[in-house]
Amino acid sequence: MARAQTIDDIPTLPLTQAAYLPGEAFDEMYDGDGTPRAHYREMHKRLLTLSGEDLAERQKTLERSFLLQGITFTVYGADSATERIIPTDLIPRIIAAKEWSRIERGLIQRLKALNLFLADIYGPQQILTDGVLPRELVLGATSYRREMQNIFVPNQAYANVCGSDLIRGKDGEFAVLEDNLRVPSGVSYMLANRDAAKRTFPGTFRAANVRPVERYPDLLLSTLKSMAGWRSNPQVVVMTPGVYNSAYYEHAYLARLMGAPLVEGRDLVVHDNMVYMRTSTGLRRVDVIYRRVDDDFIDPLTFRRDSGLGVAGLFNAYRAGNVVICNAPGTGVADDKAVYAYVPQIIRYYLGEDPILPNIETFLCREPAQLSHVLANLDKLVVKAVGASGGYGMLIGPHASAKERADFAVALKADPDNYVAQPTIQLSTAPCLVNGHIEPRHVALRPFILSGEKTVVTPGALTRVALRRGSLVVNSSQGGGSKDTWVLSEGKSKP
């Protein structure tokens, strides 16, 4: 009888030790000795049986299905517009039940504290009086909206939908990289990726006992409705900047699955501080607006005057308490990158608890001592502009050229208040299909937290992938992709 083949004897299989050489970073699938971790065992076994052609075929089916469903974003060229699908990897990333329960508790704790923080700074500002954060750091942030001062927000839930970015460093511990409290996106990809993964790995999925994510739209709707508890059946709408927005697919998707109308600014009118939508039979009152339009553009009378995306008078209707805007305007101040450095203190201040999920060590360049440390260590640090997002306006020291670093140092010295720096984290890696081989790529995790009357975390997430070898930037605007995330159940998995 022939000896069972070792994986190295099967060169046609894409998952071979030779092809998969984990680097420095923590790997999600293999432990330090190269043995698959317990929660990855089923998936690992399955991957060993699939050839490169099998996987490529499945990848093609997945991409075709995304294109057909219209899960695309549009790239505008000089004279044409091309639709592309978001790069998607078919191998799911798996998280063990115990790890998830810590993440879940940590995220709920964090969002509760941040909502209390928002209620405080747009109210009595006790935390500033007590000197926990420098007053000018909060009130001087560009994302601070003084128009929100003393406005009643139901449930004190300012950020109803939050997508935090978590990363896992070399030590294998999850930490929060940033909070997204403005208009976080990506949840539709979480759901679309799940749908695809179920079709790609049905047997493995069943055996692994994965927790479902499909309730998200339903939870979102009840969160939004809980924001207008005084209306017996509040009319919820999703507000989109329109079909040219890169996240339009997601806006339409959520509206469809919630059964809520998808409106644009031009569909709404404000009369006597009430908001109405123009229906085919007349005007109809709107109670809750889940807006996917940035603060600046929601109301030209209050915010940017040159914006045509919003509704004139919307903010006054909000101030009068006749409509609820979700997320509340001004939540951006709590995900400001300088305020981020204080989140552990914010959690202790409002909840009297230690943070469950740690922050990444952050240097505030506004402090002269920290600035000189940052300037001396530019080649080791990641420097970010406080107001920016999406991977723009940042320097990754170890990957930058000497000239880029020198240029950035000039900008830094000119406006130190605008920058923070963090050590370069080797994000953990997970197996991805690259050119017919399974190779490790750096990943980050974006779970979604909903907060209304209650705060809940959907047991799943969008795993974002830096598809270029060695790259640490996972933003879709910078060549990142995504994959499904399986959160396993507590119970024993069924055979």
Partner 1 sequence: MMLARVADSLYWIGRYLERAEHLSRLSDVMLNATLDHTEAASQAAHIALSAVGDHDIARSAKPFEAARALVLDREDSNSVIMSLAQARENARQVRDQITTETWERLNLLYLKVTGDDAEADFSAGSSAWLHDIIADLHLFKGAADATMSHGEGWRFLMLGAYIERAQLIARLLEVCFGDGKGKKPTDHIALMSLLRMACALEPYLRVYTAEIEPRFILEFLLLNEEFPRSIRFSTAQMEDHLSRIVRPGDTAPGASPERLAGRLKARLQYADVEALQANGASALLSTVLDECAAIHEAIFETYVAYPLELRLPA
Binding site for partner 1 (CB under 8 A): 67-70, 238, 242-243, 248-249, 252-253, 255-256, 260-264, 266-267, 269, 271, 274, 276-285
Least separation in angstroms between residue 280's CB and partner 1 is: 4
Least separation in angstroms between residue 53's CB and partner 1 is: 24
Least separation in angstroms between residue 64's CB and partner 1 is: 10
H helices present in 29-76, as ranges:
41-49, 52-69
- Please identify, using beta-carbon distances, which residue of 70 and 229 lies nearer to partner 1: 70
CB-based burial, 236-260: b 16+ in 10 Å, e otherwise: bbbbbbeeebebbbbbbbbbebbeb
Least separation in angstroms between residue 261's CB and partner 1 is: 6
- Please identify, using beta-carbon distances, which residue of 238 and 449 lies nearer to partner 1: 238
- Please identify, using beta-carbon distances, which residue of 137 and 260 lies nearer to partner 1: 260
- Taking the C-alpha atoms of residue 485 and residue 71, their distance in angstroms, rounded to an integer, is 18
The H-or-E segment that residue 315 falls in is helix 314-319
Phi then psi dihedrals of residue 33, to 5 deg: -90, 0
- Please identify, using beta-carbon distances, which residue of 235 and 455 lies nearer to partner 1: 235
Neighbouring C-alpha atoms within 13 Å toward the C-beta of 179 = 33
- Please identify, using beta-carbon distances, which residue of 123 and 242 lies nearer to partner 1: 242
- Taking the C-alpha atoms of residue 476 and residue 470, their distance in angstroms, rounded to an integer, is 16
Is the Cβ–Cβ distance between 286 and 276 less than 8 Å? yes
Any bridge partners for residue 276, and if so which? 269, 285
Least separation in angstroms between residue 492's CB and partner 1 is: 36
- Taking the C-alpha atoms of residue 448 and residue 242, their distance in angstroms, rounded to an integer, is 23
Residue reference for tokens 């998969």: 20
Q: What are the angstrom distances between the C-alpha of 428 and each of 133, 167, 304, 404, 472?
A: 32, 7, 40, 26, 10
- Taking the C-alpha atoms of residue 155 and residue 453, their distance in angstroms, rounded to an integer, is 6
- Please identify, using beta-carbon distances, which residue of 277 and 347 lies nearer to partner 1: 277
Least separation in angstroms between residue 84's CB and partner 1 is: 13
- Taking the C-alpha atoms of residue 365 and residue 420, their distance in angstroms, rounded to an integer, is 5
- Please identify, using beta-carbon distances, which residue of 236 and 395 lies nearer to partner 1: 236
Q: How would you classify the pairing of strands 236-239 and 262-263?
A: parallel
- Taking the C-alpha atoms of residue 485 and residue 187, their distance in angstroms, rounded to an integer, is 12
Is the Cβ–Cβ distance between 355 and 368 less than 8 Å? no
- Please identify, using beta-carbon distances, which residue of 70 and 140 lies nearer to partner 1: 70
Q: What are the angstrom distances between the C-alpha of 50 and each of 22, 210, 329, 376, 439?
A: 20, 21, 49, 49, 14
Least separation in angstroms between residue 73's CB and partner 1 is: 12
SS3 97: helix
Least separation in angstroms between residue 318's CB and partner 1 is: 19
- Please identify, using beta-carbon distances, which residue of 75 and 243 lies nearer to partner 1: 243
Residues 6+ apart with CB under 8 A from 298: 239, 291, 309, 310, 311, 314, 315, 325, 329
Least separation in angstroms between residue 45's CB and partner 1 is: 34
Least separation in angstroms between residue 450's CB and partner 1 is: 20
- Please identify, using beta-carbon distances, which residue of 269 and 356 lies nearer to partner 1: 269
Least separation in angstroms between residue 275's CB and partner 1 is: 12
The H-or-E segment that residue 250 falls in is helix 248-258
- Please identify, using beta-carbon distances, which residue of 48 and 257 lies nearer to partner 1: 257
